[in-house]
């Protein structure tokens, strides 16, 4: 169960981080985050943490019973 939660959290962080990065650099408009370097950096951090969580989850071996 913990593995699925970690994977889901990683996927959400990747998606949200990508949106924040795109807003931070001005590609997605219509928000107070548009064109703000702070949101680019926060999004980049969230994206990278999400990638690490997903990669760790995918490469982890299944526990043997």
Per-residue pLDDT reduced to its tens digit, 13-58: 999 999 999 999 999 999 898 999 999 999 999 999 999 999 999 8
**CA-CA distance, 10 to 21, in Å (whole number)?**
16
User: Which residue bears the tokens 């980049």?
Assistant: 44
Residue 23 lies in a domain: yes
What is the CB neighbour count within 10 angstroms for residue 11?
14
* All residues at 6 or more sequence positions from 11 whose CB lies less than 8 Å from its CB, including other chains: 50, 54
Residue 64 lies in a domain: no
pTM (two decimals)? 0.85
Total domains in the chain come to 1
Decide: helix, strand or coil at residue 54.
helix
Q: What is the pLDDT of residue 65?
A: 64
Residue 65 lies in a domain: no
Give the range of the structural domain holding residue 25, as residue numbers without chain letter.
2-59
Q: What is the pLDDT of residue 42?
A: 97
Greater pLDDT, 62 or 37: 37
């Amino acid at each position: 169960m913990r593995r699925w939660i970690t994977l889901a959290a990683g996927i959400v962080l990747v998606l949200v981080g990508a949106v924040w990065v795109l807003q931070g650099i001005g590609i997605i408009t219509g928000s107070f985050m548009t064109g703000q370097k702070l949101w680019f950096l926060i999004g980049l951090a969230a994206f990278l943490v999400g990638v690490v969580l997903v990669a760790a989850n995918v490469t982890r071996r299944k526990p043997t019973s």
